[in-house]
Amino acid sequence: MRKLYFVIIFILLPISMLAKEEGQLSDYDKMLVDYDNADNKGKVSKANILMKFLLDRKFLDEAITFEDKETIDNVNQQVWYWASEYYYSLQNYSSALTYGLKALPLCTKDEDKANCLNLISLTYFRQSKYEQAVDYAKQCYKIDEKSGDPDMMSSSLNSIAGIYIGANQPQEAEQYILKGIALAEKANNPTRMAVLQGMASEVFMH
């Protein structure tokens, strides 16, 4: 999901929105507040209700369920991360940012942390807060760089370039997109290369 978001946002296409059924967000708000106000013993069952809500609306690709033995930090991290994703999809960027920032300190795996950093970066970008957006995108890139995966690295570099284009700073974007293209060549991913070349075109057009 992380990489798909970047492809969509930085070629300046509108994000595909979930259907906004009347009262849907309100129902989710109430369940999330109920979860946040619950004591630790009551959080697991309420977390499962929230995840079922997202699954039923095809927001999740597969079911996420928690057992009583789960640590509360892990449950909170998952609930708050997916709350951030959900609010982002509804263009409620204020709530998306609130829950993304709450989830981030609880991410113990690099993949989870990178996904959360990416989401926060996207949210700031949508709010036209480019300085914050690029800061979180660069933190995401550092995790990808540590993994040594050229495909992931090229995608993150493409994202950084896209933020600079949004901020009308094509000179800053150039170094990141060129480095990204070099990494995409190593990754031998034609689809990724096409996306990066499209971004390069935007950079040099500006």
Write the pLDDT tens digit of every residue in 152-163: 999 999 999 999
Residue 16: pLDDT over 50:
no
- 1-8+23-127 and 130-206: identical CATH topology: no
CATH topology of domain 1-8+23-127: Methane Monooxygenase Hydroxylase; Chain G, domain 1 (1.20.58)
Task: Please tell me what DSSP assigns to residue 107.
Answer: -
State pTM to two decimals.
0.86
- Are 6 and 115 contacting, i.e. CB atoms less than 8 angstroms apart? no
| Class of residue 137 by CB neighbours under 10 A (exposed 0-12, middle 13-18, buried 19+) | buried
- Are 65 and 51 contacting, i.e. CB atoms less than 8 angstroms apart? yes
Least confident of 17-21, 30-34, 44-48, 99-103: 17-21
Alpha-helix runs per DSSP H in 90-149 = 93-103, 110-126, 130-147
Q: What is the assigned CATH class of domain 130-206?
A: mainly alpha
Write the pLDDT tens digit of every residue in 116-129: 999 999 999 999 99
The domains of the chain are located at: 1-8+23-127, 130-206
Per-residue model confidence (pLDDT) at position 206: 86
All residues at 6 or more sequence positions from 148 whose CB lies less than 8 Å from its CB, including other chains: none
